DNA sequence: GTAGGGTTAG
């Protein structure tokens, strides 16, 4: 879990973004106009702006960013903009801090177009923002995932004699984190410490959040522990916020370290920070995902006892967990409870419960809920339709699914790629290839581009419905158009080819994996092994089994079952027993398919029963 | 009210 040895050796090869920023004014051709105005000294500006002229500008160096509509109800921003206009026209220039206040207001509201417009007008009026204004701009670029521009502005800052401070660097660290450049973020942090600029609780909070979001919660935890206990830290002087803790707990839970999440939760309380509905939510969600339903319920009750009102999200995650456990009646009870408590369910609540009913095959209950939504004035969304259509498809009620699709279109809900993927899967499974073809051809009418899943569904569907040529044609046309195919796509085609008896073509495709930049997965091998077995080529199947092991791809129960079925059908009992032993040695649990193979073996010849004695796991199961 | 972290659900 703790991936790296110590705090400041987190990442070794960080890109030297900082130096880079010192020498390059900007790394981006467009959207850099504002930055360009500010990285230069006034005397240079004339020269520079021509380089960074906005592509649509014909009149000069100023950037004609349109004013965004001012009718969105955000009075603060509108007031700020009106005030800004007034201030620019005043005879005596107001202090720069007044301008900064307005810039800050607009930046906080994330009205970036307005913000850039303001900056440009200031530059026009020869009012170059000083370092606070530039910090606002840097932070905005970072929020917009344009950290390179942030660095460019910092370069301009240095040039104009301002010293970037910890606020500047915190923004840049955030920017690197949101662009998923965690290594660079850590590198920058190390650098500023060497420069004598010391990070504070917000800087550390930024990094911890960034680490959690990028799937490095273990590192975040290590960092946190160092800050609280370690040499570089502050001990009790380090006072992270409730949000900081919520991020960390959530990150840990999402990566499966729920116990650590619980510890952090206690630590937080021990430091006098009271958890809120979000902190509880992060923990409850983590426990639900781990199947720790009782513990999740315990925290749920605990939070209510403490007077923390569960909100719609809290209920939704609990309803989802109950549905996944097959406890739809209890889930429905929770829905009633939330309504009783005055918490309004949203479309996610209903979609989740409907999905639970569908999973249990309770289509009528799902339908009833669907109908009741409209009756009770709850908004449906596209996902509501997707869930119910998926339920119908999974229960082979294709007519109901398609009727719902048409109803949805009549009501002007816009289908998504997922809608099509659900219906295509259903149609292929029901053998309705012609309907699937027609539906697929309609995707473009809805301005939808098939995604990788769509192609897998098609490749698989054509193959399984005796249309291998269509699958091959599709595959070839995708390759020709430069579409990057993944191993799942290829596995679907491989399986179809094998099932259609086109083993040569399958082998050819399998051999092309490396050239396509793909690594065969356990599914790939199982598919090929199955193909060879079905074709009676047991030796090839066995070789492939050995090959996958040598290449470090561990076979799973399906691989074992596939190969054993092959040998069993070929009356090679010793080989089956050998594989059974191998399975037992690796502590694989045989499943019902394994059992059927053994039963088959016994029915062929009772003398094989002596082999069964060798498999304790198996004989114990009775 | 001169700048920086920002969280839970299908």
Residues found in chain A: 622
Closest amino acid to nucleotide B6 (CA–C1'): A243
Band of pLDDT at residue A150, cut at 50, 70 and 90: very high
A217 and A184 within one domain: no
A598 and A559 within one domain: yes
A261, A267, A273, A278: CA torsion to nearest 10: 10
Residue A61 has pLDDT above 70, yes or no: no
Q: Which CATH number is A106's domain given? A: 1.25.40
Please choose, from the candidates A191, A189, A238, the residue with its C-alpha nearest in 3D space to the C-alpha of residue A210: A189
A25 and A162 within one domain: yes
Average pLDDT, stretch A73-83? 76
Provide the CA A105 to C1' B10 distance, Å, integer.
35
Q: Which helix (H) or strand (E) holds A406?
A: helix A398-410
**What does the pLDDT look like over A564-596, one tens digit per residue?**
888 888 888 888 888 888 888 888 878 888 888
**How far apart, in whole angstroms, are the C-alpha atoms of residue A18 and residue A22?**
7
- In the prediction, which pLDDT does A619 show? 43
Q: Is residue A173 part of a domain?
A: yes
Residue A523 has pLDDT above 50, yes or no: yes
Average pLDDT, stretch A310-315? 95
Joined together, the tokens standing for residue A358 give 């569908």
- In the prediction, which pLDDT does A35 show? 57
Nucleotide nearest to A173 (CA to C1'): B4
Residue A15 has pLDDT above 60, yes or no: no
Provide the CA A233 to C1' B4 distance, Å, integer.
20
Band of pLDDT at residue A232, cut at 50, 70 and 90: low
A225 and A139 within one domain: no
Nucleotide nearest to A348 (CA to C1'): B10
Nucleotide nearest to A178 (CA to C1'): B5
**How far apart, in whole angstroms, are the C-alpha atoms of residue A212 and residue A264?**
14
A216 and A81 within one domain: no
**How far apart, in whole angstroms, are the C-alpha atoms of residue A366 and residue A358?**
6
A250 and A111 within one domain: no
CB atoms within 10 A of CB A546: 9
Residue where a domain stops, chosen among A169, A197, A225? A197
Q: Which CATH number is A221's domain given? A: 1.25.40.10
**What does the pLDDT look like over A327-367, one tens digit per residue?**
999 999 999 999 999 999 999 999 999 999 999 999 999 99
pLDDT, mean over chain A: 83
Residue A41 has pLDDT above 70, yes or no: no
Distances (CA, A) of A434 to A15, A341, A437, A475, A522: 54, 50, 5, 19, 32
Q: Is residue A330 part of a domain?
A: no
- In the prediction, which pLDDT does A620 show? 44
Provide the CA A491 to C1' B2 distance, Å, integer.
59
- In the prediction, which pLDDT does A298 show? 94
Nucleotide nearest to A76 (CA to C1'): B1
Provide the CA A240 to C1' B6 distance, Å, integer.
12
Band of pLDDT at residue A447, cut at 50, 70 and 90: very high
Q: Is residue A30 part of a domain?
A: yes
**How far apart, in whole angstroms, are the C-alpha atoms of residue A241 and residue A226?**
17
Q: Is residue A545 part of a domain?
A: yes
**How many structural domains compose chain A?**
3
**Scanning the structure block, which residue is given the tokens 């850039």?**
A116
Residue where a domain stops, chosen among A310, A329, A362? A310
A106 and A165 within one domain: yes
**How far apart, in whole angstroms, are the C-alpha atoms of residue A338 and residue A322?**
15
**How far apart, in whole angstroms, are the C-alpha atoms of residue A527 and residue A151?**
51
Asked if A36 and A25 touch (Cβ cutoff 8 Å), the reply is yes
Q: Which of A73-77, A93-97, A178-182, A422-426 has the lowest mean pLDDT?
A: A73-77
**Scanning the structure block, which residue is given the tokens 């054993």?**
A564
Residue A608 has pLDDT above 60, yes or no: yes
Angle at A302 between CA A297 and CA A305, to 5 degrees: 130
Band of pLDDT at residue A505, cut at 50, 70 and 90: confident
**What does the pLDDT look like over A539-556, one tens digit per residue?**
988 889 889 888 888 888
- In the prediction, which pLDDT does A369 show? 94
Residue A276 has pLDDT above 50, yes or no: yes
**How far apart, in whole angstroms, are the C-alpha atoms of residue A464 and residue A498?**
10
Q: Is residue A476 part of a domain?
A: no
A88 and A226 within one domain: no
Task: Give Cβ neighbours of residue A132 (< 8 Å, ≥ 6 apart).
Answer: A97, A100
**How far apart, in whole angstroms, are the C-alpha atoms of residue A17 and residue A622?**
65
Residue where a domain stops, chosen among A260, A284, A310? A310
Provide the positions of strand B that have an atom within 7 A of a protein CB: 1-10
Largest CA distance in chain A: 107
Q: Is residue A461 part of a domain?
A: no
Residue A23 has pLDDT above 60, yes or no: no
A175 and A117 within one domain: yes
- In the prediction, which pLDDT does A139 show? 95
Task: Give Cβ neighbours of residue A424 (< 8 Å, ≥ 6 apart).
Answer: A436, A439, A440, A454, A457, A458, A461
**Scanning the structure block, which residue is given the tokens 């200031």?**
A122
A233 and A166 within one domain: no
A552 φ, ψ (degrees, to nearest 5): 80, 20
- In the prediction, which pLDDT does A71 show? 40
Angle at A499 between CA A496 and CA A501, to 5 degrees: 110
Residue A440 has pLDDT above 70, yes or no: yes
A223 and A186 within one domain: no
Q: Is residue A319 part of a domain?
A: no
Handedness of CA A172, A177, A179, A183 (dihedral sign): positive
- Strand B contact residues in chain A (77-116), C-beta within 7 Å: 97, 100-101, 104, 107-108
Which residue range is the domain that position A105 belongs to? 1-197
Range A432-437, long-range pairs (CB < 8 A, 24+ positions)? A432/A398, A433/A461, A433/A462, A433/A465, A433/A467, A435/A398, A435/A402, A436/A461
- Strand B contact residues in chain A (378-407), C-beta within 7 Å: 381, 383-384
Provide the CA A383 to C1' B9 distance, Å, integer.
14
A223 and A212 within one domain: yes
Q: Is residue A493 part of a domain?
A: no
User: Rg of chain A over CA atoms, in angstroms?
Assistant: 31
């Amino acid at each position: 879990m703790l991936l790296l040895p110590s705090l400041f050796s987190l990442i070794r090869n960080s890109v030297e973004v900082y130096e880079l920023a010192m020498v390059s004014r900007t790394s981006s051709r467009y959207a850099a106009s504002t930055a360009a105005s500010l990285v230069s000294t006034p005397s240079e500006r004339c020269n520079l702006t021509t380089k960074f002229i906005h592509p649509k500008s014909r009149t000069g160096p100023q950037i004609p960013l349109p004013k965004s509509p001012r009718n969105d109800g955000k009075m603060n921003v509108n007031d700020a903009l009106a005030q800004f206009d007034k201030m620019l026209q005043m005879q005596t220039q107001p202090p720069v801090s007044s301008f900064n206040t307005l810039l800050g207001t607009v930046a906080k509201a994330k009205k970036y177009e307005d913000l850039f417009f303001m900056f440009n007008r200031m530059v026009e009026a020869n009012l170059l923002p000083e370092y606070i204004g530039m910090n606002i701009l840097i932070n905005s670029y970072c929020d917009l995932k344009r950290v390179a521009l942030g660095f460019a502005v910092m370069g301009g800052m240095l040039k104009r004699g301002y010293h970037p401070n910890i606020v500047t660097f915190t923004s840049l660290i955030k920017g690197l984190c949101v662009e998923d450049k965690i290594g660079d973020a850590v590198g920058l942090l190390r650098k500023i410490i060497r420069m004598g600029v010391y990070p504070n609780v917000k800087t550390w909070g930024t990094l911890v959040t960034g680490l959690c979001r990028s799937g490095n919660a273990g590192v975040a935890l290590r960092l946190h522990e160092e800050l609280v206990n370690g040499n570089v830290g502050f001990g009790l002087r380090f006072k992270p916020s409730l949000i900081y803790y919520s991020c960390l707990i959530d990150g840990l839970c999402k990566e499966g370290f729920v116990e650590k999440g619980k510890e952090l939760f206690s630590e937080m309380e021990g430091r006098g920070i009271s958890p809120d509905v979000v902190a509880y939510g992060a923990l409850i969600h983590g426990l639900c995902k781990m199947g720790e339903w009782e513990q999740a319920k315990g925290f749920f009750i605990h939070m209510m006892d403490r007077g923390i009102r569960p909100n719609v999200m809290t209920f939704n995650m609990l309803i989802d967990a109950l549905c996944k456990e097959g406890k739809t009646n209890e889930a429905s009870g929770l829905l009633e409870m939330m309504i009783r408590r005055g918490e309004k369910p949203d479309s996610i609540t209903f979609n989740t419960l409907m999905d639970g009913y569908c999973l249990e095959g309770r289509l009528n209950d799902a339908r009833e809920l669907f109908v009741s939504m409209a009756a009770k004035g709850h908004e449906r969304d596209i996902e509501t339709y997707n869930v119910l259509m998926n339920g119908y498809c999974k229960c082979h009620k294709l007519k109901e699914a398609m009727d719902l699709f048409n109803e949805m279109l009549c009501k002007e809900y816009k289908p998504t790629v997922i809608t099509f993927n659900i219906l295509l899967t259903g149609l292929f499974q029901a053998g309705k290839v012609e309907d699937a073809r027609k539906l697929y051809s309609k995707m473009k009418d809805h301005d939808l581009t098939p995604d990788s899943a769509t192609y897998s569904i098609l490749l698989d569907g054509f193959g399984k419905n005796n249309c291998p040529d269509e699958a091959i044609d599709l595959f070839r046309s995708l390759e020709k158009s430069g579409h990057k195919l993944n191993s799942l796509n290829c596995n679907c085609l491989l399986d179809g080819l094998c099932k259609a008896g086109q083993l040569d073509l399958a082998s050819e495709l399998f051999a092309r994996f490396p050239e396509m930049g793909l690594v065969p997965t356990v599914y790939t091998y199982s598919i090929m092994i199955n193909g060879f077995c079905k074709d009676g080529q047991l030796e090839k199947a066995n070789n492939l089994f050995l090959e996958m092991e040598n290449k470090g791809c561990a076979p799973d129960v399906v691989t074992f079952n596939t190969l054993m079925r092959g040998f069993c059908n070929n009356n090679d009992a010793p080989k089956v027993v050998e594989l059974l032993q191998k399975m037992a040695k690796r502590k694989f649990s045989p499943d019902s398919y394994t059992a059927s193979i053994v039963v088959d073996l016994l029915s062929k010849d009772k003398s094989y029963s002596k082999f069964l004695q060798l498999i304790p796991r198996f004989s114990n199961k009775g």
